[in-house]
Structure 1
Amino acid sequence: MELSGSPPRLRHPALLPLLTCAVIVVALASMSLGPISLGLGRMVAALGGTGEPVVRAILLELRLPRTLIGLMTGAMLGLSGAVLQGYLRNPLAEPSVLGASNASALGAVIALYFGISQWHAAMLPLLAIASALGAMVLLFALAGRSESPLGLILAGIAVSTLAGAGISLALNLSPNPFAAMEIMSWLLGSIENRSMEHVWIALPCVVVGAALLLADPLALDALSLGEDGARSLGVDLARTRLRLMLGVAIGVGGAVAVSGAIGFVGLIVPHLIRPMTDRSPSALLVPSLLGGAVLLTGADILVRLIPTDAELKLGVVTAFLGVPVFLFHLLRERRLW
């Protein structure tokens, strides 16, 4: 399928360069800031193999994996939110709308509840990804042949509710308080104590998911005209829906599998980016990917710097950051939708 038309335009041409610089800045800050601050010189020396062994261990075994997972998870959530808001033509759409986030969380909860996560570090992420893919199969079965976004939204609500009920059941029947605490801790979202093993688990899923979501951005612009308008422009609605749903399931499933349930990133990032573009869905995709990486990694830096007896969970911080920003932009721009 080919669509004619001009490429997406950014209202501020410096947006992508600035976001790219912001990604680099937050990545360096994430690796340098924490209970023990590491200067640029010490980090360079550690990476070169000539630094102190303790600094090298902190940098390579603790902070580098945490930074990479923060960037990948934020990028995937931001991109998924922008894609779903364009495809569903709904400013409140995000990965949880289609049940991908809740289904991934259910898979992780199953791994924790039955002790499967103790078998190998990869078991929890693999079950989370498998649950997300299973949710997409159920989503298509419930939505049927309908090409309307409304059918997907209603089916997504059913899938998300079912997954949420499964999580609640696991908490209700947890064999001991420690199991319930472990499940609740994961559901709050955190990228603390992650290793490079988690990075290699999530990376293929995020790359494949992002590639599927970015494969045909002009199809999202055509869908803004409605199903009939998009079909008249040559958009294969069934193929587009399958590609996007697989992209969300694989990408978000892999990201959430190693980070826990983190909300609001996919919801608010497109709203922050939209005023700086021509408001076409395709123009939001790459900026939202970069913006999500900046937002989530920045929130993780705050988690480490806020003085508390126990480290705050990342999902809690993103919720506190996200709600005021989202409400502000909603009140400011509601007439533009």
Structure 2
Amino acid sequence: MLVLSHHCHQPPLSSFRALKPHRCSSFLPKLHFFSRLQRFSVELQIAHGCFPLPRSSNLLFQFHPRVSIGEAGKCADRELGDENSDLADLEDLGDDSKVFKKTLQLVECAMFASVAGLAYFLSNSLAVENYFSCFFSLPIVISSIRWGIAAGRKTMVATVMLLFTLSGPVKASTYLLLHGLVGLAMGTLWRLRFNWSTSILLCTLIRAMGAVGYVLLSSFLIRENILALITINIHASLTFIFTAMGINIIPSMNAIYLIFGSLLLLNCGFFVFLLHILYSIFLSKLGLKDSLTLPSWMAKAI
């Protein structure tokens, strides 16, 4: 503890050189109380591991021998770091910050996945799947165009997991093969700004492979070769037509497979083409026309 002399004619200490000698006697009680109060405050704050006073307060450090300027500087730097982190947290809440954009992307992907999953689930429950099947791939396409290919993939996976929880693995696999892969392919190609010819061709192939995969999955589940039944029925139908026309020709199985593949690609091509037209109109109304690569005739029509 700092002890001051009661004689005013003695030289003052270095910490109180600013004090005038003729005011020393009147200032002694206040200074004594001030030193005890500051020492108690310093000890209390050091016990809690924080010393909020700045480095320039060297006067208080001489009242207690255990307080050093280095420790106070570290505490002051710690407080400045906490204030800077608080300011950084506030800046992360801005509209242009990465944290805000990632959070918005996650929320939108979750909302699109829930909408797609519930729409598919209710359509299957009410037996109106054929009327609303055009809209099952739309949430994946919107996510891919707005936030990138990774966001579209996350939306597709989240929708499949939601359907897996609600309806089981069969419905989830059906959505993935018939709608999820097509939506992801279309959103990816539109995000990369491919023209419609390439997009329709690739999406048609993916839709056809998904349809064949769905037939094989159904065959495995019901323990029956549905693909063989389809080809046999096509063979019998063509044989009957040729016989009715007076043509004595029996088509081979390779011709049947070729006809079946051609009809499947034609069906999937028309479906994908209608999806392109429908999604272009819908996304243009949502204000995403600048993100689309439309042919000239479609741009003029919209």
Q: What TM-score results when the alignment is normalised by the length of structure 1?
A: 0.21
Q: Which fold has the larger relative contact order, with Cα–Cα distance below 8 Å and residues 6 or more apart in sequence?
A: 1
Q: What TM-score results when the alignment is normalised by the length of structure 2?
A: 0.22
Larger Rg: 2
